[in-house]
Copies of this chain bind each other. A is one copy, B any other.
Amino acid sequence: MTLVLGGARSGKSRYAESLIEARPGPWRYVATAQAWDDEMRERIAHHRARRAPPWETVDAPRDLPAVIRQAPAGRPVLVDCLTLWLTNAMLDEAADLAAETDALVEACRSAAGPLVLVSNEVGFGIVPENALARRFRDEAGRLHQRLATTADRVVLVVAGLPVTIKGDA
């Protein structure tokens, strides 16, 4: 399992795709985006435009652990991205966030094939004035720590360049 962290427009998705594409296809792309507004729809379109068969796309804005568990054994899986999944879970008032993140960590730990997770590193700015943004930052940071412990490899992408912070470069 590889965790790919990066800032906004850091090239983290493209780098994560290159890791998957280095293996024999088909490759499974797990999209977590929910198209709430035009800006998001545009970003989704931008990402989709880069993928064609042998990529197969599965949407998982909410039940990400199940989608990871259901991938065929040996199938390379790219999850892009955890940040959006976490946002969706936090905005769902009926959700049990602790239980969901536990389930996600467990699904990643026992994935049957190569798994690459993409997520935004969001903790290097000034404390946000917005309370939800502060909570999001805390939850994202904790989730990254848990996944980094389990991951074989953790990479921080800066300006499109991978900086390996765990595992082999």
Contact = CB atoms under 8 A, between A and B. Distances in A.
Within the oligomer, what is the number of copies of this chain? 3
A126 B137 contact: yes
A121 B10 CA distance: 10
A126 to B, nearest CB: 5
Interface string A126-169: 11111101101111111011011100001010111101011000
A136 B126 contact: yes
Give chain A's interface secondary structure class: mixed
Contacts of A24: none
Contacts of A124: 7, 121-125
A16 interface: no
Given A140-B9, A145-B11, A160-B149, A126 B125 contact: yes
30 contacts: A3-B159, A7-B121, A7-B124, A8-B123, A8-B127, A8-B137, A8-B138, A9-B123, A9-B141, A9-B145, A10-B123, A10-B141, A39-B131, A39-B134, A121-B159, A122-B126, A123-B124, A124-B124, A126-B128, A126-B130, A126-B136, A126-B137, A145-B160, A148-B160, A148-B161, A149-B160, A154-B158, A158-B165, A163-B163, A163-B165
